Chain A
Amino acid sequence: MRVHQNGLKPRGELHAGVFRGRKGGMSTDWSRYATPEETRQRATSPPEHNGVVGLPVGGVREIQGLRVVHDPKDDNQAHTEVRGGVARAEVRLKLLRICEVLIAVPWPPEE
């Protein structure tokens, strides 16, 4: 999952707020079909402004209410959504605990 450097404000540390859903799900890439660098390159902002964190599927499914759904797109076979209420405080705190930094988020952002 990509993490934009602006999302690490104000301290430059990963925090629970980096986990955010869009249209009901949180977009990620399945590592079977994409490398961390490929995930970073898919950013619509400059890729060098983003880092990538990994989430173990088993750990995500252990969090109450979450589902991991492979949802391939025409231009992204790896696209996978985490669904089931990602915005909840409990969920985001637990995702933060199990995530792993795969590509460090550049910090601090260039002015």
Chain B
Amino acid sequence: MTTLGAAWNFSPLVDRWRERDPLRSFEWMSKPSLLPPAQWSQPIPHFVEASQRQVARSRFLVEIEEAIRLSEEIFELRDNWDGEGAPGYTRDTWERAIKFVRTSAEMVDRRYGLSFRAPNINPGPDGSIDVHWRTDDGELLVNIPAEPGALAEFYGDDYGQAVIRGKLNPARSNHELILWLISSQR
């Protein structure tokens, strides 16, 4: 179950999405006669913007994969890795964590044409794995538990009064949470 600690206005996100709709770019490009002759040899603004956006999206997905690759080091932590009895980490838990990250990234990329900063994927308590996003304007921590089938716990805030917290199924798309994350990135 996802609970929102504060009401969030997603309309700016929707506006951004509509502004960048590639179909609008196509419409613009398909009517060159609308351009004044002096601008015929100039780059078409929407086309340039669409190209830049595509590059940014590609970079975003590369950064996500890099964060996932780096997190494989978590497997090196076997039982008692701190000398004080801490449990190790299983591939199953890690795979559920990275599936959550990849599903979230693909969802915002394909459905909304947006992106978010790559998270840090860290060892959490009791064999769990943390997925941690940190920006100048907010933080979100999602804890993927070691127990298969258990819900993940999350907490995020904007370093102030706006808070989001609750539990989620990491195997499913979590639109509200990820849109909250994106809205916290300016």
A16 touches B141 (CB 8 A): yes
B71 within 8 A of A: yes
A93 x B70 contact (CB < 8 A): no
**A22-B155 in contact given A11-B70, A17-B130, A87-B125 (Cβ < 8 Å):** no
Residue A31 at the chain B interface, CB threshold 8 Å: no
Shortest A59–chain B CB gap in Å is: 15
Asked whether B81 lies within 8 Å of A6 as measured between CB atoms, the reply is: yes
**Chain A proximity mask over B136-164: 1 for CB below 8 Å, otherwise 0:** 00010111000000000111000000000
Determine if B126 and A20 form an interchain contact, defined as CB atoms under 8 angstroms apart. yes
Task: Produce 1/0 per residue, A63-103, CB < 8 A to B.
Answer: 00000000000000000000000111110110000000000
| B155/A17 in contact, CB under 8 A | no
Contact at A15–B122, with CB atoms within 8 Å? yes
Name B84's contact: one of A11, A45, A88 (CB within 8 Å).
A45
Cα distance, A6 to B78, chains bound together (Å): 10
- Give Cα A7 to B86, complex, Å: 10
A60 to B70, CA, bound (A): 31
In the bound complex, what is the Cα–Cα distance between A111 and B150 (angstroms)? 35
Give the residue name and chain of the A residue nearest to B129 (CB): A17
Chain A residues with Cβ under 8 A from B142's Cβ?
89
Do A4 and B123 touch (CB < 8 A)? no
Is there contact, CB below 8 Å, between A19 and B125?
yes
Give the interface centre of A6, A9, A20 by most chain B CB atoms within 10 Å.
A9
Which of B123, B126, B143, B165 is the one whose CB lies under 8 Å from A7? B123
Query: Given the complex, which residues of A lie within 8 Å of B132, measured CB to CB?
Result: 15-16
Complexed CA–CA distance, A46 and B125 (Å)? 21
Q: Is B153 touching A88 in the complex (CB atoms < 8 A)?
A: yes
Q: How far is the CB of A72 from chain B (nearest CB, A)?
A: 19
In Å, the complex CA distance between A46 and B165 comes to 38
Residues facing A in B68-115 (CB within 8 A) are: 70-74, 76-77, 81-86
Whether B83 and A9, one on each chain, are in contact in the complex, defined by CB atoms closer than 8 angstroms, is: no
- By a CB distance below 8 angstroms, the chain B residues around A90 are 141, 155, 165
- Contact residue among B83, B85, B124 (Cβ-Cβ distance under 8 Å from A16): B124
Residues of chain A at the chain B interface (Cβ within 8 Å): 4, 6-7, 9-11, 13, 15-17, 19-22, 43-46, 49, 86-90, 92-93
Q: A7-B82, A15-B130 provided; 17 other pairs, C-beta below 8 A?
A: A9-B123, A10-B70, A15-B122, A16-B124, A16-B132, A17-B122, A17-B123, A17-B124, A19-B125, A21-B125, A22-B85, A43-B84, A44-B83, A87-B125, A89-B130, A89-B143, A93-B139
Q: List 13 A-B contacts (CB under 8 A).
A: A6-B81, A6-B82, A9-B123, A10-B72, A10-B74, A10-B121, A45-B82, A46-B83, A87-B125, A89-B130, A90-B165, A92-B130, A93-B141
